[in-house]
C-alpha cells in the first residue's frame, strides 16, 4: 500500500497533505508525517510498527495498533492507493436515473441557464434556493444537465461533459464551481468553503460548518440585525486578495428556526415549504445581499450548546485547518504547491475561533465585540 501522488507542506506542529488532482486535504501530526514518509519509502506497517516500538520503547502490539489506525484514516481519506473495485463486488449499487425534470431557467452572471436533472438529489427543490434568480422561459438559454450513468454521476453543459464523478455531493460541488465561474468570470479562485458569510463595517466573517449545524439560522439572525448577507452555503475565495465570492443563494431556513426568526422575517409564514433530504425549509431572499466581500477578518466555527456560557475559543492554525477540512473545504483544482502554500498562509494569518453560544443574541454580541476591537 503506497501513498498516492500528494503535496505535503508544514503548518505549525503538523503537516497538511493535498492530492493535487482531486484537491483532497488532510492534516497529520509530526508522527503521522513520519509514517507517511516510511510508507512512501516502501516500508510495510509491520516494519514501521517495529521501528516505532524500538525507538519509543513501547509494546510492539500497541505500536502496531496505532500504526494500523493511522494508516486506516489515511486510506479512508483517499491518500493511500486501493485496489479498483469491480462493479460485481459486494456493496456496489448502480445509479438509477429517473425521468428528466425541467428545473427552470436561472440567471448566473451574464448567462441564462436552463437546468434539467434526472437525479432525485438534484431537482426542483434544490434549485428553489436560487428562486430570486428565476427567469421566464428563454428560448436561447444555455443548458446545464444533471444525469446518471452506469455507476457515476454526470454534469453536462451545452452537451459537453464537464464532470463525471462518483456521488451526488461531488456533482453538486462541481456545479457550484461552474456557477461561481459565471458569477465572477474574471476571478481566479483559491478555495471553496461549505460556509456562511456576513460582513459589517468593512469586516467579513466566514462561518464554516457542516449541514444542520445552525449556521443559516445564525446568519439570518445577524442579517436581521444589520449585518450584510454574503451567503449561507458555498463561499469561494479569490486567489488575488482572498476576497469572498458567495454562491448566490437565498437564506435556507429549516423548520426548527422558524419560531426563532419569525419576528425578523414576517414573510416566513407566507413562503412555500420545500422538502429536501428529509427536511422542511423555506427560502428567504435576504436583505442587504452582497455578492462579494473583503477577505475575512475572522473565521468562526459556530457551535450551539444549550447550557453554558457563550465564548470565543481561539484556535491555532493547525486546528483551524483540521476544522476547515471537517467542514468540507476544497482547493481549486488542480492544486499546486504554490496554491497550497498560499492557502496555508491565509490560515496562518487569519484569526480563527470556535464560537460556542447558548443563544443567538449572545452569539451576535460576541461577534460584534470581536469586530469592534479587530
Averaged pLDDT, 286-314? 90
Q: pLDDT for 191-230, tens place per residue?
A: 999 999 999 988 999 999 987 788 999 999 999 999 999 9
Per-residue pLDDT at 82: 55
Q: Are 15 and 27 in contact (CB under 8 A)?
A: yes
- CA triplet 311, 322, 27: central angle to 5 degrees? 155
Interatomic CA distance for residues 368 and 373, integer angstroms: 9
Q: Which residue has the cell 455507476?
A: 151
Per-residue pLDDT at 2: 57
Domain borders along the chain are 7-76, 101-183, 189-372
Averaged pLDDT, 5-15? 90
Q: pLDDT for 104-156, tens place per residue?
A: 999 999 999 999 999 988 888 889 999 999 998 788 899 999 998 766 899 99
Averaged pLDDT, 335-341? 94
Is the model's pLDDT at 273 over the cut of 90?
A: yes
Report CA torsion sign: 148, 152, 153, 154: negative
Interatomic CA distance for residues 128 and 279, integer angstroms: 14
Per-residue pLDDT at 210: 84
Per-residue pLDDT at 86: 46
- CA triplet 17, 210, 320: central angle to 5 degrees? 45
Q: Are 348 and 316 in contact (CB under 8 A)?
A: no
Averaged pLDDT, 273-288? 86
Q: Are 122 and 115 in contact (CB under 8 A)?
A: no
Assess if CATH 1.10.1130 describes domain 189-372: no
Averaged pLDDT, 10-36? 86
For the domain bounded by 7-76, which CATH number is listed? 1.10.10.1150
For residue 321, which phi and psi values (nearest 5 degrees)? -60, -45
Q: Which residue has the higher pLDDT, 332 or 4?
A: 332
Per-residue pLDDT at 3: 64
Confidence grade of residue 87 (pLDDT, cut at 50, 70, 90): very low
Per-residue pLDDT at 343: 97
Per-residue pLDDT at 107: 96
Is the model's pLDDT at 372 over the cut of 90?
A: no
For the domain bounded by 101-183, which CATH number is listed? 3.30.413
Per-residue pLDDT at 117: 94
Amino acid at each position: 500500500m503506497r501513498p498516492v501522488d500528494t503535496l505535503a507542506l508544514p503548518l505549525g506542529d503538523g503537516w497538511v497533505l493535498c492530492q493535487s488532482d482531486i484537491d483532497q486535504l488532510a492534516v497529520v501530526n509530526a508522527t503521522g508525517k513520519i509514517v507517511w514518509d516510511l510508507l512512501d519509502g516502501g516500508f510495510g506497517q509491520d516494519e514501521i510498527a517495529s521501528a516505532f516500538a524500538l525507538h519509543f520503547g513501547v509494546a510492539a502490539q500497541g505500536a502496531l495498533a496505532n500504526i494500523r489506525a493511522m494508516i486506516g484514516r489515511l486510506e479512508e481519506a483517499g491518500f493511500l492507493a486501493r485496489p479498483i473495485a469491480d462493479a460485481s463486488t459486494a456493496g456496489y449499487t448502480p445509479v438509477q436515473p429517473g425521468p428528466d425534470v425541467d428545473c427552470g431557467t436561472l440567471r448566473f452572471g451574464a448567462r441564462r441557464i436552463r437546468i434539467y436533472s434526472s437525479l432525485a438529489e438534484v431537482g426542483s427543490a434544490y434549485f428553489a434556493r436560487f428562486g430570486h434568480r428565476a427567469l421566464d422561459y428563454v428560448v436561447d438559454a444555455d443548458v446545464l444537465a444533471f444525469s446518471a450513468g452506469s455507476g457515476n454521476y454526470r454534469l453536462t453543459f451545452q452537451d459537453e461533459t464537464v464532470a463525471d464523478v462518483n456521488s451526488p455531493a461531488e456533482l453538486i460541488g462541481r456545479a457550484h464551481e461552474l456557477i461561481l465561474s459565471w458569477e465572477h468570470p474574471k476571478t481566479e479562485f483559491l478555495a471553496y468553503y461549505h460556509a456562511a458569510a456576513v460582513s459589517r463595517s468593512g469586516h467579513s466573517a466566514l462561518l464554516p460548518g457542516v449541514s444542520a449545524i445552525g449556521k443559516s439560522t445564525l446568519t439570518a439572525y445577524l442579517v436581521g440585525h444589520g449585518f450584510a448577507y454574503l451567503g449561507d452555503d458555498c463561499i469561494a475565495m479569490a486567489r488575488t486578495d482572498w476576497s469572498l465570492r458567495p454562491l448566490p443563494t437565498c437564506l435556507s431556513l429549516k423548520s426548527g428556526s422558524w419560531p426563532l426568526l419569525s419576528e425578523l422575517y414576517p414573510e416566513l409564514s407566507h413562503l412555500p415549504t420545500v422538502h429536501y433530504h428529509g427536511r422542511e425549509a423555506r427560502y428567504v431572499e435576504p436583505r442587504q445581499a452582497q455578492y462579494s466581500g473583503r477577505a475575512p477578518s475572522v473565521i468562526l466555527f459556530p457551535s450551539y450548546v444549550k447550557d453554558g456560557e457563550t465564548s470565543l475559543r481561539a484556535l491555532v492554525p493547525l486546528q483551524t485547518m483540521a476544522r476547515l477540512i471537517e467542514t468540507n473545504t476544497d482547493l481549486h483544482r488542480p492544486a499546486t504547491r504554490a496554491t497550497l502554500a498560499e492557502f496555508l498562509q491565509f490560515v496562518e494569518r487569519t484569526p480563527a475561533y470556535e464560537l460556542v453560544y447558548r443563544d443567538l443574541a449572545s452569539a451576535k454580541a460576541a461577534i460584534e465585540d470581536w469586530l469592534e476591537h479587530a
